[in-house]
Structure 1
Amino acid sequence: MPRLSRIPLLLGVCGLALTPSLYAGAVDLSHPKVVCTQQPKEKWIPVKDMYRIAESKGYRISIFKISNDSCYEIYGFKDGTVVEAYFDPTTATLIKQNIAK
């Protein structure tokens, strides 16, 4: 499996490739630090399983990473909208979702 945090985002028809740092600018990131769990990483759902769970919930994933040492963070699309989503890595529960403006 490739390192998911290094996969560039390809946006629709225009084929514009954005790096993760540029892509993050498309979402309002003016929020406080998100904490999803305090459980040890041994209790986390494996990344490949969480990736599949998120896809089954309708997310088209462009970037998948661990953030704040407590969340699985996804950048991608849901229902045709650009999103940044934070999930509890122990339960796959959506904790917070930011939608591009």
Structure 2
Amino acid sequence: MKLKAAVVAALVLLSPTLAMASPNCTTEAQDKWMSEDAMKAKVAELGYTIKTFQVSGNCYEIYGFTKDEKRAEVYFNPVTGDVVEAEIDG
């Protein structure tokens, strides 16, 4: 029984690091969002190369590279195209 409790406790403690939720990028309805093509163009203007582009929650999200060839995971406000959160590998 102690082992089971320890496993449950470990899972509870680790769960925030195992499942990162996307940030809250907008409260606007999807019909107010930029088209995916317009967002991809904006991302390119910002200097990112897109490997994967997707909708994540209420954000546009890319996995790709910066202009310095660093790996990047970036969340964008789908209405304005602004960066909401970015994780860039150093």
Structure 2 Cα separation of the partners of residues 29 and 48 of structure 1: 31
Distance 1:29 1:85, change over 3 A: farther
Cα deviation per residue 1:15-41 (whole Å; 9 max; x = unaligned)?
A: xxxxxxxxxxxxx97644411001000
* Count of aligned pairs between the two proteins: 73
Q: Which has the higher strand share?
A: 1
User: 1:15 — aligned with what?
Assistant: none
Alignment CA distance shift 1:48-1:76 (3 Å)? same
The equivalent residue for 2:88 is 99
Partner residue, 2:8: none
Matches within 5 A, 1:13-92: 31-68=20-57, 70-78=58-66, 79-92=68-81
Larger radius of gyration: 2
After superposing the two structures, state which structure 1 stretch, 84-93 or 28-37, moved more: 28-37
Q: 2-side partners of 1:33 and 1:52: how far apart?
A: 22
CA-atom RMSD in angstroms: 1.9
Deviations 1:44-95 (A, max 9, x none): 0000000011001100000000001x00000000021000000000000000
| 5+ residue gaps, structure 1 | 1-27
Stretches of structure 2 lacking an aligned partner (at least 5 in a row):
1-16
User: Compared with structure 1, are the counterparts of its residues 38 and 76 closer, same or farther at alpha carbon in structure 2 (3 Å cutoff)?
Assistant: same
Structure 2 length-normalised TM: 0.74
